[in-house]
Structure 1
Amino acid sequence: MATTATSVTDLCRAARAASRRLATLPTAEKDAVLHRIADALLDRTPEILEANARDLQAGREAGLSDALIDRLTLDEGRIAAIAAQVRDIAALPDPVGEVIDGFRLPNGLDVAKTRTPLGVVAVVYEARPNVTIDAAALCLKSGNAIVLRGSSSATQSNAVLAAIAAAEAPEGAVQLVAGGGREELAELATQDDLVDLIIPRGGEGLKKALVDVATVPMIFAASGNCHVYVDADADLDAARDIILNAKTQRPGVCNAAETLLVHRDVAGAFLPGALRALREAGVELRGDERVRAIDPEVAEVADTDWDTEFLALVLAVGVVDSVQEAIDHVNRHGSGHSEAIVTGAYAAARAFELGVDAACVYINASTRFTDGGEFGFGAEIGNSTQKLHARGPIGLRELCSFKYVVRGDGHVRG
């Protein structure tokens, strides 16, 4: 593994050379690499925790928010879970060479559409050292080389984790870009001859920094302004459990709910108990006039709150007159990540499913399930809110393109 003591271009060039070898690596060899990485994570846990402690100390001194500290934190349990995810990825079917479609032309040519690695994937991410291993494992299994660029807040953790992955992977397959600033990021984002895809995983600031300079194609693992809508025909006990889980189970992540919408017909029956439970869980509540008429202790919601990814125990709450009004609100203010409806009415569920523009739509379930591990992908590099190539959790298949393999028997075109 190299760092920015070597130029960004040289790192990407080494990754490109490695990607050629990875594309032809047998499944058994890729899986063996992943199992060695998992073993090394467990064996070197004390070293990882020591590095992470240095990052956490620096983060607290720099005044990082509780949500960012939570994302940054590693412990024995989280490291064991990361290692388990690596083994889960190894156990998944190899996407490379998978036949997506096949057919025979009238002239006798056999055409197969097959998955093929993208080549070199760069992942730019903030304050989530687990992404270092998740991204490397997913790329290695899908036959891609990876260039990692984490944030300064996780410098020590990322260095150890990337070194572990690089030591077990084919030479050059895992590269870490570390130690530079925005100029370095711009250099990485313009390596279009060497890098096939950049996946930024972070907030709007990171997104803007890349949009302004990138010439390499990008898929954004973007922010999550997620909603839970409680319909007139909802099971109110289930709705309470769902919003509590979606908001409080881990508030500092992108699939946590930031807004609760409630149909006017059940607002009086649902909100008093639900808001009390949320308040007891430590949630700061901000509501519109109809919410505050039911519970005057709720603070007045600001117009900007509807568009805010709080990543904290803060929740905007509103009352709507119909499922269509809820859909319109979600499409106006949501980020296209994960949206949920709680209802017993098929028509309402179907309208929400079809009308909401989001990567993941939930019917009677928490938004917190938007996750590669939960979806059976082993792990994820992030959750795409875009519509082209990949949407939702970015797993093995999303790290592949495809090629057409055409077999003939001396065919020539007349």
Structure 2
Amino acid sequence: MIEMLESARAAARICAQLSDKERNSALYAMADAISKQSESICAANTKDMANAKDLPMSMQKRLELNAQKVAAMAKAVADVAGLPDVVGQAKRVWKTKADLEITQVSVPLGVIGVIYESRPNVTSDVSALCFKSGNVCVLKGGKEAYHSNKAIHSALQQALQQHNLPKECVSMIQDTSRESVLAFVKMDKYVDLLIPRGGEGLIEFVKHNASIPIIKHDKGVCHTYIHKDADLQKAKAIVLNAKLSYPAACNACECVIVDSALGTQVLSEIVESLHTHKISVRFETQALLESLGTELDGLADFTKEWGDRIINLKIVGGFEEALEHISRYGSGHSECIVSENKAVCEQFLSSVDAACVYVNASTRFSDGGEFGFGAEVGISTSKLHARGPMGIESLLSYKYCITGNGQVRE
């Protein structure tokens, strides 16, 4: 591992000095390589899926690839290539009282490690974003996606070598053991930033063992709050999309909060709408379930990211109680209010502490591609130094370039 990380460190110096034209040319070659090797990537994924039958359905959904998904991966890489250059840009220029000219310049972070589970598309997304921003990435995928990740990584490295670039610009640790994770997270001599993406167990393990600075990409316990002034049809559509368009996604809604002022009839309509679409509704109390006269789905667990066709239901006495519930159980990912009351919506936007806060729109839009970033390294639930969908600008730091004319400080 150390030999590989030393090579990655050396490659980072080369990658940082490439022109944007050189980076883009290699990125388009990566996209082309993924497209041309779609069949072999899907065949590798078939091996992983055959070994994944004991995994939770949400992880299997995240793991699965097909020709359409591989095409989307290739497009995401090409989209990243089409983004504006962000490396070496002057962010600010000013003169000091000593007549020094100071320029704040954007620079790559260096070597970025990413540990992730399931999602093979992370391999290409992260590689493209890191390379576009002048960084080298070191990938550590899970054993459940071993064959898929290896096939995608091979395609990316072939494209790099076609352009006479170090293949270590996109590096991968292929040892899938827990011991290798433990060793990797302590390699602060070689790795500048570590990004863990996955389940709660992985995040906690990395957080407690890493000596490298980390940006967490934690679970998504996302809420949709139906305020008493909501348009009910709009609310139903938003909740259904936030839950059903991809139940296993971290930006899927896991809890719908309903104002008690809407009344039992409206609440029953919401529950009926969810049941019609085969969503299991988990209630806070048995008494609430009985008062609605509905079938038994089970009791809520407000801490849980279901990742399935299951949703918690919380009844609140008003706006402040909804905020309190989100503050207590939200994971800082994505939160939504559905309301036609502009003042309440503004208060929600300013009061809720989350990476993405929505008014009258599905939480499923929390995504680098949807935000116009081309792709994403993930969705950060940290506050330092990046938050929300992480695109290329989140993978940069800066330095100060100071020009003088013989000045010395008195």
TM-score, normalization: structure 1? 0.95
Any residues of structure 2 matched to 1:14-29 within 5 Å, and which? 14-29=7-22
2:233 is aligned, of 237, 241, 259, to 237
Offset, 1:290: 4.0
Any residues of structure 2 matched to 1:28-107 within 5 Å, and which? 28-60=21-53, 63-107=54-98
**Residue 370 (1) aligns with residue 366 (2):** yes
Q: Which residue in 1 is equivalent to 2:124?
A: 133
**Residue 121 (1) aligns with residue 112 (2):** yes
Instruction: Report the Cα distance in structure 1 between the residues aligned to 2:83 and 2:264, rounded to whole angstroms.
Output: 48
* Secondary structure class of the residue paired with 2:270: helix
Offset, 1:272: 2.2
**Residue 257 (1) aligns with residue 253 (2):** yes
Where does the alignment leave 5 or more consecutive residues of structure 1 unmatched? 1-7
Contact 2:142 2:176 in 1 (8 A): no
2:376 is aligned, of 374, 377, 380, to 380
185-194 or 204-213: which moved more? Answer: 204-213
Instruction: Report the Cα distance in structure 2 between the residues aligned to 1:373 and 1:291, rounded to whole angstroms.
Output: 39
Instruction: Report the Cα distance in structure 1 between the residues aligned to 2:293 and 2:121, rounded to whole angstroms.
Output: 40
Instruction: Report the Cα distance in structure 2 between the residues aligned to 1:199 and 1:150, rounded to whole angstroms.
Output: 12
Q: Which residue in 1 is equivalent to 2:291?
A: 293
Offset, 1:300: 4.4
Any residues of structure 2 matched to 1:133-282 within 5 Å, and which? 133-169=124-160, 170-171=165-166, 172-282=168-278
Contact 1:291 1:317 in 2 (8 A): no
Letter in 2 for 1:102: V
> Structure 1's 277 and 409: CA in aligned 2 closer, same or farther, altered over 3 A?
same
Letter in 2 for 1:183: E
Letter in 2 for 1:75: N
Per-residue Cα deviation, 1:200-221 (whole angstroms, up to 9, x for no partner)? 0001110122122210010011
Letter in 2 for 1:53: T
Tell me the percent identity: 40
Offset, 1:296: 2.7
Where does the alignment leave 5 or more consecutive residues of structure 2 unmatched? none
Letter in 2 for 1:208: E
Per-residue Cα deviation, 1:352-400 (whole angstroms, up to 9, x for no partner)? 1122111100000000000000000000011000111000011101111
104-113 or 288-297: which moved more? Answer: 288-297
Any residues of structure 2 matched to 1:296-335 within 5 Å, and which? 296-302=294-300, 305-335=301-331
Aligned length: 403
* Secondary structure class of the residue paired with 1:212: helix
Instruction: Report the Cα distance in structure 1 between the residues aligned to 2:309 and 2:335, rounded to whole angstroms.
Output: 18
Offset, 1:105: 1.2
* Secondary structure class of the residue paired with 2:17: coil
TM-score, normalization: structure 2? 0.96
Aligned-residue Cα RMSD (Å) equals 1.3
Instruction: Report the Cα distance in structure 1 between the residues aligned to 2:193 and 2:302, rounded to whole angstroms.
Output: 32
27-36 or 345-354: which moved more? Answer: 345-354
